[in-house]
Every structure is written in C-alpha cells, then in structure tokens.
Structure 1
Amino acid sequence: MSRFCGAVAAGVIFALFSPMQAFSAEPVGQATLIRTEVSGRTGPLVVRSPVHKDERIRTSSSGLGQFIFKDGTKLAVGAGSTVVIDKFVYDDSASVKRLSIKAAKGTFRWISGNSASSAYSIVTPAGTIGVRGTAFDFYVGPNGTTAIVLLNGAASFCGPGGCRQLRQQCDCVIATRGGRMTDPSQVDRRTLQTLSNPRALPFLSGDQQLSGALGGIRTSCGLASLRQDRQERPQPQQRQERPAPQAPQQAPQAPQQAPQASQQAPQQAPDTPDPPDRPDKPDKPDHHHHDWDHHGRDHHDRDHRGHDGDDDDRDRNGRHGHRSDN
C-alpha cells in the first residue's frame, strides 16, 4: 500500500512540475515588440518575454508581435495569426543547425539570421518555404491558401504541385492546399483579390507598421497606396449622405412658388385687351373725319359740295336778276 501511495505521489508531482521543467529550458528567442495582445503558452507576452521551442504564439485581431531568435533571425507575427516554433537545434552561440516554424494562419515577415540557409524552413498548410538567405512576407488564409512575396535574396516554395523559385524582388507565388500553384509574378492588387482579403499583406500595404530591421525594408511592392485608397473611399459616400436631409426642405418650396405665378397672372390680364381705344369712335358724327377714314376723299367732297353751292347761288342770282329785269 505504501508503494502504491508513493507511486501516485510521484505521478502527481511529475504531472505538476513537468510543464515547468519543459519551460525551464533555455529560451530560443524573445519578444522585441508587442502591440495590443500577443500570447504564448503561459499567457500574454510583453517586450523581452522569452519564447521557447514548441511554443505556440497567437495574436489578437489587431495584435502584432516581433521576435528575434538567438541566431539573429527575425519574425513578425501580424494580426489574427498563429505560429508554432517547431524545431530549434543549436549549432553554436551564433547560429543553429535547424530552425523550423509552422504557420497555421495569418500574416508574417521573415528575415534570415546568421545560420546557413539550409537550416531554415517555414511549413504552411499548402507547402514549405525554403529560405535562401532572404527576407519575405507570407500569408496563410483560413482555408490554407498560402502566398509568399519575396523582398530580398531568394526563396522557394514547394508543395504537392511542385516547386517554384522566387528570384526577383516582389515576386509572388500563391499555392492552395490541394496542390495548385501559380508561377512567380509581380504582386499587385489582383493578388489580394485572389486571396479574398484586402489585408492579407499588411506590412506591404501599411495596415500594420513594423519597427527596427523588420520595418526597415523600404519596398512596398506597389501596395502602399491600398490603405490610402480604402480610407478615401468612404468620403464620397459621406458627401452624398449630407444633402439627403435637405431634400424634404426643398420639396415644399415648389408649391410656395406656384401661387406666385398664379398671383402674377391676374395682374397681367388687364394689359392684354385694348378696350380703352373703343370709346374714341364717337368721332363718327364728324362727316369729314368719317370720310377721311373710310374713303380718303375729303378734298374731293369739299370740291363737290362747293361746286353745288356755286350752282345754287348762280341759279338764284340768275333767277333773281332775271326777275329784276322783268
């Protein structure tokens, strides 16, 4: 019975202290920058927090962590990411024989350290990135689709569909979990459309800012304007929404102007007919004016009337003179 109790006690002690013993191993690197929330196996990480082999590092939806390993290798872990330090085999104080990480999802930037290129490998759901003394960004989507963008040096990507070599700056390869893989081509806006994520490469677009050597890479591969475009797009929508409340205020003005038109109409109505000119027609009794207006022969009428008058006078005078003679 005493032996049984002793065995149980030993098992409990081993179970309680084995994680601590595993974590009491020498760290393989440490955090150099933490923003928002980044956690490791033991909880939230802060600047100078050590990281160990087999440790899983997670970032929040806005988190960012920068890490440096013992051989000088640098790793940035962007928002919403998960990565595991899979293998770390020491060589000497300045380099390692093996440094391997497994990127489950998210966005990352890698800069090789002092170890041989063959010592590094990055495993993703779609394949493995081979390092050739280089710097590159890579993204792992929720469905395992992986994109790598070369920044300096050279790299390779190998999966079920074969291998692709990236040799020129800003070369990009996209691979799926099923084995499909694109040929290397310059990264551009269409790359983000293919990945169905406009923030798949936040360190190039500027959605997340890095510091130190990780942020010292000057090229953005033409994606730096993407963030500015997204910030400017809502502005035209806001300008269109502002006049909307004024529309009901302008609508009632139409019926207010309509009565003004109707009020002006009766004021102009008396000016259209010319009835005041008709009262001038009482000039008809004037025989000369009437004849002038209708016949244009006023002078002739006067001559005719004058001629008749002279004949009458002659007849009268003649008769009168004749009578006097008798």
Structure 2
Amino acid sequence: MSRFCGAVAAGVFFALFGPLQAFSAEPVGQATLIRTEVSGETGPLVVRSPVHKDERIRTSQSGLGQFIFKDGTKLAVGAGSTVVIDKFVYDDSASVKRLSIKAAKGTFRWISGNSASSAYSIVTPAGTIGVRGTAFDFYVGPNGTTAIVLLNGAASFCGPGGCKQLRQQCDCVVATRGGRMTDPSKVDRSTLQTLSNPRALPFLSGDQQLSGALGGIRTSCGLASLRQDRQDRPQPQRQERPAPQAPQAPQQAPQAPQPSQLPQTPQQPPDMPDPPDKPDKPDHHHHHDRDHHHDWDHHRGWDHFGRGSFDRDRGRNWR
C-alpha cells in the first residue's frame, strides 16, 4: 500500500512540476519581437522571454514572433505557425554543434548564425532543408506541402524523391509529402497558386513586416506587388439585407357604418310667417280716408258681428 501511495505522489509531483523542471535549464535563445499572440510551453511569450530546447512555439492567426539563438541564428515565425526547437547541442565556443528545428506548419524566415553550415537543419513534413550559410523563407502548408525560397547563400532540399540545390537568389522548390518535387525556378505568382495560398510567403509580399536583421533583406523576389494589387482591387460591396418586419395583421373587411356615423341630412327650418307689413304713414287727406273707412265699415258690416246702430254711430263719431 505504501508503494502505491508513493507512486501516486510521484505522479502528482511530475504532473505539477515536470514542465517547470523541463524548462528550468539554461535557455537556448530569446524572443526579440512579439506581435498579437505568441505562446510557448509555459504560456504567452513577450519580448525577452527565453526559449528552451524541445519547446513548442505557436502563433495566432495574426501573430508574429522573432527569435535569436545563442550562436546568432535568427528565426521569424509568421502567422498561424507551429515550430519545435528539436535539438540544440552546445560547442565550447560561441557556436553550436547541432541546431535543428521541426516546422509543423506556417511561414518562417531563417538567417544562419556563427555555427558551421553542417550544424543546421530544418525538418518539414515533405523533407529536410540543408543550410549553406544562408538566408531563406519557407512555408509548410496544412497538407505538408513545403516551399523554400532562397534569399542569400545556398541551400538544399532533400525528400523521398531526392535532393534539389538552390543556388540563385529567389530560386524556389516546392515539394509534397509524397515525394514529388519541382526543379528550382524563380518564385512568382504561380508559386502561390500552386500552394493554394496567396499569403504563403508574407515576408516577401509584405503582408507581415519584420524588423532588425530579419527585415533587412531588401529583395522581395517580385512578390511585393501582390499586396498592393489586393489593396487596389475593388472590394465587392455587401448588400445589406432589409431588417425583418413584423407580420402585419390581416386587413378586416369594412364594416357597415353605425347609425350614429351616418351623415345627417340637414333639416329644413320651419316656415316662418312673413312679417306684417308696416302701416302706411297717414297723410293729410283725413276726409278722404274717413269716407273710405265709412264705406269699408258699411260693406264689412259691423252688424255682421252683432253690433247695434249705437256702436256703429259711436264708431262713426270716434272716427
């Protein structure tokens, strides 16, 4: 039982402190530039962060890291890349006996340091790049297809199908995991079409900018115009979709107007009696009027209303 508990405790200790012990040795290099997000085995890296043997370095889809090793070798790791520092064997001087890295995917730039050319090697899924006092860019696609572009010096690429030598500036070789390999030829736009990635060589096209010695290589091998072409190309305009509208309620059939809503027929005002005529103004012919009224009274016959001669005479006298 005690042996079992001791084994469990040892396993827990290794799980907690094993990674820290693995990177507690003297570092083999350090970060000189970090953009966006670059991480190592212990977490995000910053400028001056040390890197160690067997450490895996990853960059985000927009990340960029620049590193320098103790012998002066410089390595740029572009966006969306993964690389492992595989072997690093010290020499007694400022050089190394062995410096090897494994590039799993992504974009890279390499500049050799003070060590012998035979000390360097870069392993890719399609083959191994041999260094001859060299500066070069290389790309490893998701399917393992690898391209190398020589910038200075000389290099070789060896795979299952043999080896190709790169001797002229901007010479390029493309190799597949299955062993097929192109002859060295000048890199151009068709190379990016072969790789099915217009940003496969971002340090040459200018999609990512390097600094220091890594960015001091002046040649772009004719690919710098690609970025400008993409910027000058009109971008398709996105048509905005109209915002969805709430469904409208079905229209109701018109209802018959209520009696109170019917238009009212204007009523004719009741006939009003004509105002009485104003009496004529009397004139000075009293005698004529008196005779006229006498005749009217006689014809109208006050006797008709049952009045006697007294009344008639009184009326005559009143007039």
- The CA deviation string for residues 36-62 of structure 1, in whole angstroms up to 9 with x for no partner, is 011111111100011111111111111
Q: Distance in 2 between matches of 1:178 and 1:68?
A: 33
Query: Cα distance, 1:21 vs. partner?
Result: 1.2
- The CA deviation string for residues 59-81 of structure 1, in whole angstroms up to 9 with x for no partner, is 11110000000100000000010
Instruction: Name the residue aligned to 1:213.
Output: 213
**Identity within the alignment, %:** 95
3-state SS of 2:58 partner: strand
Instruction: Name the residue aligned to 2:69.
Output: 69
Unaligned runs of 5+ in 2: 240-319
Q: Distance in 1 between matches of 2:100 and 2:138?
A: 15
Residues 37 and 62 of structure 1 are in contact (CA less than 8 Å); yes or no, is this contact kept in structure 2? yes
Seen in structure 2, the aligned counterparts of structure 1 residues 178 and 10 have a Cα distance that, compared at 3 Å, is closer
Q: Distance in 2 between matches of 1:12 and 1:196?
A: 46
Residues 122 and 130 of structure 1 are in contact (CA less than 8 Å); yes or no, is this contact kept in structure 2? yes
Instruction: Name the residue aligned to 1:140.
Output: 140
Q: Distance in 1 between matches of 2:39 and 2:23?
A: 15
Asked whether 1:53 is paired with 2:59, we answer: no
Instruction: Name the residue aligned to 1:228.
Output: 228
Letter paired with 2:136: F
Seen in structure 2, the aligned counterparts of structure 1 residues 232 and 43 have a Cα distance that, compared at 3 Å, is same
3-state SS of 1:89 partner: strand
Query: Cα distance, 1:32 vs. partner?
Result: 0.3
Query: Cα distance, 1:15 vs. partner?
Result: 3.6
Deviant stretches of 4+, over 6 Å? none
Aligned residues: CA RMSD: 1.5
Letter paired with 1:205: S
Letter paired with 2:54: D
Equivalent residues in 2 for 1:99-178 (5 A)?
A: 99-178=99-178
Query: Cα distance, 1:5 vs. partner?
Result: 3.7
Equivalent residues in 2 for 1:187-206 (5 A)?
A: 187-206=187-206
How many residue pairs match? The answer is 238
Q: Distance in 2 between matches of 1:78 and 1:3?
A: 49
Query: Cα distance, 1:19 vs. partner?
Result: 1.8
Query: Cα distance, 1:93 vs. partner?
Result: 4.4
The structure richer in helix per residue is: 1
Query: Cα distance, 1:11 vs. partner?
Result: 3.9
Q: Distance in 2 between matches of 1:174 and 1:225?
A: 21
Letter paired with 2:165: Q
Query: Cα distance, 1:6 vs. partner?
Result: 4.1
Seen in structure 2, the aligned counterparts of structure 1 residues 81 and 3 have a Cα distance that, compared at 3 Å, is closer
Asked whether 1:85 is paired with 2:85, we answer: yes
Q: Distance in 2 between matches of 1:7 and 1:144?
A: 41
Instruction: Name the residue aligned to 1:37.
Output: 37
TM-score, length of structure 1 as denominator length: 0.71
Q: Distance in 2 between matches of 1:161 and 1:119?
A: 23
Unaligned runs of 5+ in 1: 242-326
Seen in structure 2, the aligned counterparts of structure 1 residues 230 and 11 have a Cα distance that, compared at 3 Å, is closer
TM-score, length of structure 2 as denominator length: 0.72
Residues 70 and 93 of structure 1 are in contact (CA less than 8 Å); yes or no, is this contact kept in structure 2? no
- The CA deviation string for residues 207-246 of structure 1, in whole angstroms up to 9 with x for no partner, is 00000000000000011110000000116x56xx9xxxxx
- The CA deviation string for residues 156-181 of structure 1, in whole angstroms up to 9 with x for no partner, is 00001110000000000000011110
